[in-house]
Amino acid sequence: MIFKKTLLALSLTCSSFYSVGAAFQLAEHSAAGLGRAFAGEAAIADDASVVARNPALMAQFDKMEFSVTGTYVMPDVSLTGIATSNGTDPAALNNNSIAPSAFIPAVYLVVPLNDKFALGFATFSNFGLATEFDNDYAAGQLAGETSITTVNFNTSLSYKVNDNFVIAGGVNVIYGEASLIRNAGENPFDIPAHTEVANLVGDDISYGWNMGLSYDFNENHRLGFSYRSEVKLALSGDYSNGLPADLGGLAGKVVAGAMDITLPAIMEISGLHQVSDTVAVHYSAMWTGWSSFDELAGYVEGQDEAVFAKEENFSNSMRYALGATYQLSSNLKLRTGIAYDQSPADANHLSISIPDTNRIWLSGGLNYTFTNKSSLDFGVSIVKGETQTFTETDDFNQDWTFESQGDAYLVSAQYNHVF
């Protein structure tokens, strides 16, 4: 299928996504947004990236605008072994870096049609994750490799009801792929630690919708609201393992496999207030319906029981952000912001494969306007996560206790062009 092959090729540029938002959520839609910790995203119409967060803001554009952005994420996620139940030295669990660095691209286009309608197109991602462990890691059944990549192709249309109120809606084509590898690790059956006990890969194309509203009280004060639907991915592909047949394994044989993943709904409300000629303040509250993601499980054709299952038991989460913008000169605009990102993870189901914790974002950025047609945005963020101690139990009923620490550093650049 040519269309599916094209989606796969595009997703490969994003295949090392590492989430620095709640669970495996990605907020890195623009450099402008990153510079203010994404405060006010559903209310600020800085550039064409509004298609990703609130398409109602497309009504603020009177000329066609194009934006392309790239964000480089440098995670610092480490584990320290605290205890084991099988006599393994806890130091064998130490790992200084379980998440690879990643580059996250996005492209946007806003096309005003007339004084009432505007059309928008976007390619970006809302969700992605990658964690990697050595194939002989002691707690191999809990670790291995976990990768979730999604690419969202969006088309949106806005309608200006009157001078104050705008409504918008959009359709989304979501391509998703996931891979999950688990190894035997230390075990009571003398199976080599590097032996694959599960190797599942799959992909799918699904569909969703989004909508947005904006209301201008006057030229200096605006509220925005956006909603993005839940999307269910039925990933299909291949499953194998290297366990010997006398233990019920496949000994490397490849069979049809499947895994379902629900991408949660997202709702955001934001405000923008121009308090003087040079200073604006903005804020956001974002809700993510993570309760729809309760389990990560894999199945093979003709078998009802899961060949791999990990209970996640996520809860809905909130993200709060506050920021400010200062117009230093006619060409230079400065931004800053702070955010609190709540983890959806259940304290009794913490995981080293999808590491998560509450986070604080500290951000800064700028916009430089070269001409009335082109500008450049730059943003940086430091994301500080809480230290946590938790215990996971593998399929051999072995307990592994970890201390985890997760921080990240983000740098983003964006070019905007008005036609």
Domain ranges of the chain: 2-418
Residue among 137, 133, 73, 147 nearest 103 (CA)? 73
Contact present, 377 and 76 (Cβ < 8 Å): no
The pLDDT value given to residue 208: 97
Contact yes or no for 335/364 (Cβ under 8 A)? yes
The single residue listed with the structure tokens 């993570």 is: 290
Smallest CA-to-CA distance from 109 within 117, 120, 123 is with 120
For residue 328, what are its two tokens?
């230093």
The pLDDT value given to residue 14: 39
**Predicted pLDDT of residue 27:** 81
Q: What is residue 403's predicted lDDT score, i.e. its pLDDT?
A: 93
Is the C-alpha dihedral spanning 294, 13, 194, 387 positive or negative? negative
> DSSP string covering 233-300, please?
EEEEEEEE----GGGT--TT--EEEEEEEEEPPEEEEEEEEE-SSSEEEEEEEEEE-GGG--EEEEEE
The CATH architecture one would assign to domain 2-418 is Beta Barrel (2.40)
Instruction: Enter the tokens of residue 117.
Output: 């309608």
Gap between the Cα atoms of 217 and 223, Å rounded? 8
- Give the C-alpha distances (Å, rounded to integers) separating 163 from 64, 166, 218: 20, 8, 9
Q: Residue-wise over 74-91: b if at least 16 C-beta within 10 A, else e?
A: ebbbbbbbeebeeebebe
Q: What is the mean pLDDT of each run of 10 residues along the chain (419 residues)?
A: 37 41 75 97 97 97 97 92 95 90 94 98 92 92 89 97 98 94 91 92 96 97 98 94 86 91 95 97 96 82 80 88 97 98 84 84 98 96 92 91 92 97
Cα gap 228→21, rounded to integer Å: 17
For 70, the 3-state DSSP assignment is strand
pTM of the model: 0.90
Predicted pLDDT at 15: 37
